[in-house]
Amino acid sequence: MKTRICGTGSALPKRKVTNDDLSKILDTSDEWIRSRTGICARHLAVEESLTSLAADAAKEALDEAKINPRELDLILAATLSADHLVPSLSCELQRELGAENAAAFDINAACSGFLFALQTADVYIKSGQYQKILVVGGEILSRLMDWNDRSTCVLFGDGAGAAVVLPDETSGILGSVQGSDGARGEALLCENRKNNNPYIANGTGLSYVSMNGQEVYKFAVRTVPKAILEAIKKAGLAIEEIDLFVLHQANIRIIESVSKRLKVPMEKFPTNLESCGNISAGSVPILLDHINKKGMLHKGDHIVLAGFGAGLTWGASVLTW
Ligand code: COA
């Protein structure tokens, strides 16, 4: 039995913010951001909550899969920026969708989150415990940014993507890998609120995302090609048989480096980071939905999905569409 993606969906906030817009509030420029990252714009949540974005994405995915929310057995949401610490995004989504028969929990593996959630869904389906699973990845990262730190806040965006997965005899996930390196976690960090119990002095305060960009860059270009090759091997395929590589949208230079290391042309690496920036756990499912809606996915195609990011974490899956 395989786990097949039968529907996708995505939602971006209405407010689009270009590099030029940012250069009006920060000491930065379109040229700097574009030449180092490939990013030209991102969407930032002003009116939306993460729950509303995730619900819009989920409804599209459920429609395409022709699944009623009441049929769902499980909702898995990957995020590090849920609207509340509790209830989880997945439970809020369950309420919004009226998916009253589903169990629901969140997964935090940062930018690899959608891959970890998808692979968790795969294990549930293979075990026979659940059949109809909604997997969501989404972020409102703009709430975690230090808007005075031009080296991080220009990179990220907000949005949510969703996939409905069902058991299938022939098509679906063929092989997956996942990994973590907590020893190098400080490279990309966001502290929770400080402990303010009565026995700690100066306990209050909030912190924002901080990043050693060059460390994260080196980690990504070394780890991602290896993870992809391992997943393709597990799937029993050769790299030439892969039609598309749907990678986490952090930086065009990282994607170009992966393409070069794998000796695969850039045409096989669709991107939307130009208009979306890095949406962490939302990045892979949003791009998957965008290329699905453009008609770029055909039955029988072999697709690689790969994520990498804070933790540090990484994950890759190979599937037949
Ligand atoms: N606009 C203008 N200048 C900026 C800037 C901005 N938004 N952000 C940083 N700078 C400046 C720095 O202050 C530095 O100036 P200095 O040399 O006078 O000190 C200069 O640009 C170079 O900064 P540096 O950090 O060396 O640039 P870089 O070439 O390493 O590029 C990143 C920075 C963040 C784009 C790059 O390291 C990167 O993409 N890393 C991966 C990050 C990532 O994708 N993380 C998420 C993974 S999930």
- The three state secondary structure string of 39-103 is CCEEECCCCCCHHHHHHHHHHHHHHHHCCCHHHCCEEEEECCCCCCCCCCHHHHHHHHHCCCCCE
Q: Decide which of 127, 147, 170 is a domain's last residue.
A: 170
The domain of 149 spans: 2-170
Task: Give the Å distance between the CA of 166 and the centre of ligand 1.
Answer: 41
- Residue of minimum CA distance from atom 8 in ligand 1: 151
In the block, which residue shows the tokens 């891959």? 115
Q: How far is CA 290 from the centre of its chain?
A: 13
Residues 203 and 163 in one domain: no
State whether the beta carbon of 37 lies less than 6 angstroms from ligand 1.
yes
In the block, which residue shows the tokens 């997943």? 231
User: Is 248 among the catalytic positions?
Assistant: yes
Residues 163 and 216 in one domain: no
Residues 159 and 180 in one domain: no
Residues 188 and 56 in one domain: no
Residues 158 and 229 in one domain: no
Continuous segment of H or E residues that includes residue 195 = none
Residues 190 and 76 in one domain: no
State whether the beta carbon of 28 lies less than 6 angstroms from ligand 1.
yes
User: Is 111 among the catalytic positions?
Assistant: yes
The domain that holds 76 is classified in CATH as: 3.40.47.10
Residues 136 and 184 in one domain: no
Residues 206 and 164 in one domain: no
Q: Decide which of 170, 198, 218 is a domain's last residue.
A: 170
Angle at 315 between CA 78 and CA 236, to 5 degrees: 130
Residues 114 and 201 in one domain: no
State whether the beta carbon of 36 lies less than 6 angstroms from ligand 1.
yes
Residues 181 and 59 in one domain: no
Q: Domain tally for the chain?
A: 2
Render each residue's pLDDT in the chain as its tens digit; 321 residues.
999 999 999 999 999 999 999 999 999 999 999 999 999 999 999 999 999 999 999 999 999 999 999 999 999 999 999 999 999 999 999 999 999 999 999 999 999 999 999 999 999 999 999 999 999 999 999 999 999 999 999 999 999 999 999 999 999 999 999 999 999 999 998 988 888 888 887 766 678 998 898 999 999 999 999 999 999 999 999 999 999 999 999 999 999 999 999 999 999 999 999 999 999 999 999 999 999 999 999 999 999 999 999 999 999 999 999
Residues 88 and 39 in one domain: yes
Task: Give the Å distance between the CA of 226 and the centre of ligand 1.
Answer: 25
Task: Outline where DSSP puts E strands in the chain.
Answer: 2-11, 16-18, 41-43, 74-78, 103-107, 133-140, 158-168, 173-180, 188-189, 210-211, 244-247, 302-309, 313-320
Q: Decide which of 116, 142, 170 is a domain's last residue.
A: 170
Cis peptide before 87 (omega within 30 of 0): yes
Residues 54 and 75 in one domain: yes
